[in-house]
Each structure stands twice: as structure tokens, then as C-alpha cells.
């Protein structure tokens, strides 16, 4: 390999290596501070029926998340069967959990929907909307959990969570209600109307316009986001019950979203280490031993990884994706004309989103 190519690839190798060392070091530190014998004893007493209930709850999470993504695609007039979307979502779970990156699954989702959507930009916009819906619900549950749980269990005022929720919701509504603002903000980048950047901005503002024109669809997405987050909390509730840990639902509604937000910090491999440390600290405020808190995190992670393996099978066995031949659900007319064909220079991006 030429020296220049090797130097360019070094940062790409150094970053995941650093994250791996950080995750491994944090896990080593956690295990060095617990009673390993007690850890094994608690693990051996796990209730299999409750673990089965946790698995069922996580299946609800997967199905609900697939439906939410499908609904967002329907709003964008992208016609794909729900079963195809569910299969793609399972594939994305596998890539998210078994690649050293949290965005590998999103890349696969864009790859799967770029052609039916007619644009990789529109497909990516749907993914971003899906992520925003999940993040807003995460803040909502953390805020409600903080308000309902014992105040002295929080290391900071619950008002901070409500403030973060308000800022996130305000920003999302501002973009949704004023799609033309996006075009004005990025106008310096796309002054030439027929340029590739200009075409992508047209697609982006058009996609936001579609969301604005479908309040009923967005309401359904919001309701499903609440169902998905509640089911995800029930996954942890069932695992806690399997380990005979008595923590209330609203306590978990605070603990689980906070841990989820903390592990978003891009310093570890898929949140390993940070997630376990967060649960150890947060559950510790409720009197849960470190060994048990660590087990709750690891058992849920093992369950998620097991379900993610279904995505590997789906990836190998699925046929090539094809658009649904049925007519999409009726909806209001688009606010912005996005029927202009995508420039030839943009096509390789849509094809090149996958591995």
C-alpha cells in the first residue's frame, strides 16, 4: 500500500480501535469492582418465563418500529409493503449491533428505500424523521419518569429534561411548519437551480412539505413512538423481574431513557461499557446492587443481539427489493413539486449507500 493511502486509512482504523479499547477498559473496570461470585449466583437464578416476557416485549418494539418507519414512508408516497419494511428493519438491527458503528443500520435502510423513494435524500429524510420521533419520545418518557419518580433519585433537576424536550419539540415543529426555511438556509450552497446540491435541497424541502401536509399520519407516528418506548421499558421491567429487582415502571421510565441518551456519546463501540456503567450508577440510586444492575444491562443486550441475528438471516435469504404494486394510501397533495427527475450525478449516491 502506498504511504499516502496508509496514512489516510490510519484515522479510520484508529477511531474504532480507540472506541474498542474504551469499551473494553470500562467493562473491565466494572467487573473488577463487583463480586463475580455473586454475579454468577444472581445470573443463575434468572426466571426464564420473565425473560420470555422480555423477548415478547422486544418483538413488539421491532414490529412497532417497523410500522412507524413504514408510516413515514407512506406519508412520502413511497410504496413498499410493510413486510418488506419489517425485513429491512431487522437487517438494520443486525448491522447496528454487529458493526462498530451506530449508523450501519441506517445506511442499509437508506439503501433499501432509495430506489422506491426515487432519491437517497428522501430516503435519508425519512430515516432522520424516524430517529427524531424516537428521540423526542425518549425525552418525553425521561421527563415523565423524572416527574413521577422520587425527586431525590435524580442527580440534576427534572426541569432540565423538560427544557431539553421543549427545545427538541420546538426545533422539530419549526422545521415542520416552515419547510421553505430550509431552502433559504441552504440557498448559498445551491444557487444554481440545476446543480446537484440544488436538486437535493428541492427533494429535502419537498419531503418536509409532505410531512407538514399529513398531520393525521404524524399523529399515528407519535402514538406508535409512545407504544414502542413503553414496550422497550417493559423489556427492562421484565428482565428486572426475572432477577427479582423491585423497581417501578416510572423509575424505569427515567433510568432507561437516561442511559440511552448517555450511550449516544460517540466514545465507545455501540454503547458497550457506557451503557453498563450508566445502569450501575442509575440503578444504584435505587439501592440495586452493582452486580444485579450490570446483569440487567447485559441480559437485555444479549436478548437484543439474539433478535438481531434474525436480521442476518433476513439479509441472506431475502429476494431483491421491489416496489409495492398497490396504490399508496390517499393523502393531501404535496406542498412542493418534487417530481423533477434526479440529475444523473446524483444516481450513484443512491446506489452506493450500501456496502
Of 299, 228, 291, give the one whose Cα is nearest residue 33. 291
Of 266, 288, 257, give the one whose Cα is nearest residue 42. 288
Cα→Cα distances 243→48, 238, 273, 279, 283, Å: 10, 9, 21, 15, 13
**Residue 59 to residue 325: CA distance in whole angstroms:** 28
Cα-only R_g, the chain: 22
**Residue 304 to residue 256: CA distance in whole angstroms:** 15
Stretch 137-145: mean pLDDT, rounded?
82
- Indicate the average pLDDT of the chain: 79
Q: How confident is the model at residue 69 (pLDDT cuts 50, 70, 90)?
A: very high
Q: How confident is the model at residue 88 (pLDDT cuts 50, 70, 90)?
A: very high
- pLDDT surpassing 50 at residue 182: yes
Quote the pTM value: 0.78
Q: What is the pLDDT of residues 190-238, one digit of tens each?
A: 554 456 555 666 666 667 767 777 889 889 999 999 999 999 999 999 9
Give the other-Cβ count within 10 Å of 64's Cβ. Answer: 20
Of 29-38, 157-166, 303-312, the one with minimum mean pLDDT is: 157-166
Q: How confident is the model at residue 54 (pLDDT cuts 50, 70, 90)?
A: very high
Of 157-171, 242-256, 285-299, 300-314, the one with minimum mean pLDDT is: 157-171
At 231 the pLDDT is: 96
At 211 the pLDDT is: 78
Amino acid at each position: 500500500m502506498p504511504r499516502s493511502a496508509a496514512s489516510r486509512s490510519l484515522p479510520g482504523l484508529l477511531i474504532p480501535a480507540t472506541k474498542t479499547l474504551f469499551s473494553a477498559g470500562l467493562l473491565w473496570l466494572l467487573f473488577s469492582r463487583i463480586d463475580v461470585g455473586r454475579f454468577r449466583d444472581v445470573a443463575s437464578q434468572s426466571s426464564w418465563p420473565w425473560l420470555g416476557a422480555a423477548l415478547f416485549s422486544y418483538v413488539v418494539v421491532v414490529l412497532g418500529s417497523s410500522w412507524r418507519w413504514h408510516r413515514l414512508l407512506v406519508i412520502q408516497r413511497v410504496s413498499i409493503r410493510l413486510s418488506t419494511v419489517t425485513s429491512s428493519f431487522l437487517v438494520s438491527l443486525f448491522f447496528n449491533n454487529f458493526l462498530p458503528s451506530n449508523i450501519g443500520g441506517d445506511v442499509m435502510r437508506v439503501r433499501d428505500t432509495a430506489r422506491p423513494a426515487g432519491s437517497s435524500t428522501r430516503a435519508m429524510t425519512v430515516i432522520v424523521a424516524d430517529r427524531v420521533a424516537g428521540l423526542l419520545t425518549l425525552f418525553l418518557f425521561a421527563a415523565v419518569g423524572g416527574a413521577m419518580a422520587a425527586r431525590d433519585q435524580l442527580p440534576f433537576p427534572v426541569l432540565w429534561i423538560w427544557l431539553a424536550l421543549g427545545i427538541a419539540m420546538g426545533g422539530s415543529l419549526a422545521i415542520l411548519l416552515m419547510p421553505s426555511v430550509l431552502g433559504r438556509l441552504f440557498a448559498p450552497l445551491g444557487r444554481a437551480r440545476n446543480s446537484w446540491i440544488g436538486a437535493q435541497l428541492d427533494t429535502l424541502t419537498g419531503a418536509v412539505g409532505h410531512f407538514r401536509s399529513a398531520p393525521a399520519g404524524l399523529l399515528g407516528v407519535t402514538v406508535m413512538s409512545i407504544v414502542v418506548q413503553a414496550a422497550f421499558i417493559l423489556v427492562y421491567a421484565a428482565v428486572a423481574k426475572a432477577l427479582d429487582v423491585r423497581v417501578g415502571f416510572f423509575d424505569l421510565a427515567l433510568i432507561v431513557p437516561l442511559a440511552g441518551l448517555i450511550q449516544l456519546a460517540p466514545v465507545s463501540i455501540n454503547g458497550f461499557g457506557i451503557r453498563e456503567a450508566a445502569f450501575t450508577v442509575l440503578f444504584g440510586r435505587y439501592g440495586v446492587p452493582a452486580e444485579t444492575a450490570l446483569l440487567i444491562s447485559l441480559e437485555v443486550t444479549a436478548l437484543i443481539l439474539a433478535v438481531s441475528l434474525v436480521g442476518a438471516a433476513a439479509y441472506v435469504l431475502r429476494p431483491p427489493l421491489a416496489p409495492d404494486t398497490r396504490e399508496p394510501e390517499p393523502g393531501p397533495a404535496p406542498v412542493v413539486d418534487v417530481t423533477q427527475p434526479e440529475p444523473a450525478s446524483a444516481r450513484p449516491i443512491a446506489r452506493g449507500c450500501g456496502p
